[in-house]
Amino acid sequence: MEPLTLTMAELAERWQMSSRQALAQIVRHALPAYFYFDGLVFDFADKWHRAHGEVREATELDAHRERLLTVESDLQRQGLHKRGLLKLTQWEARLGDEDLRLLQVEADRLNSEVARLSALLEARTAQRQQHVRNGLLRLAPKALGELASRGEVAFPQFAYLPSSPAGGDGGGQRLAAKLVAIEDGFPQKTRLTEADICVATQDVRDVQAAQPPK
């Protein structure tokens, strides 16, 4: 029984050519080429869970926390001063009851926002870990072309999920491959080489049946 995929070395042996030549044939016949990935995979449109998707909320949380410290300090100092336990500095004005009430309203609002944003960011961190994938991804055609010409390519930040038959019945029209963003691969790699690439054995059979490589 043949394996589901073939490495470039295995394909080169099958076609009686070098690995580089086999890779060139993959590009020539526009065959999907895959690489193994163990890490986080996100839909391209999922800006929230992808890296740095939380920047606005995290920045807002930091600002709220900083302002809350100031407001709570002012409330505490004004309260101590009102009870005769603290003398305000020359840069502090004594606040009336209405001003103190408004300051307390702001403190309550800030506390609520800090709690909301903290919970939101904690949930995001947990949700990111639900996007772990351990398996094959399809290399983008442009990256595959660069790999074929140079022998290596920078490890991609984007790839495609392997396409699958529509309806999952093993036949019929195939769904278009979905673009995904990939992060935190393990072990971490900076480059892809010919040795990292494989192709589906069935795709190779189809090429051989239609037009044997030369």
Domain ranges of the chain: 5-47+131-210, 55-129
Question: To the nearest whole number, what is the mean pLDDT of the chain?
Answer: 92
Instruction: Identify the pLDDT of residue 214.
Output: 64
CA 80 to chain centre: 50
pLDDT of residue 168: 44
pLDDT of 176 strictly over 90: no
The answer to whether residue 124 scores a pLDDT higher than 80 is yes
Model confidence at 163, pLDDT cuts 50, 70, 90, reads confident
Dihedral sign for Cα 130, 134, 135, 140, please.
positive
* Predicted confidence (pLDDT) per residue in 179-210, tens digit: 999 999 998 999 999 999 999 999 999 998 88
- Cite the beta strand spans of 75-196 per DSSP E: 132-138, 152-154, 158-160, 179-183, 191-193
pLDDT band, very low/low/confident/very high, at 5 (cuts 50, 70, 90) = very high
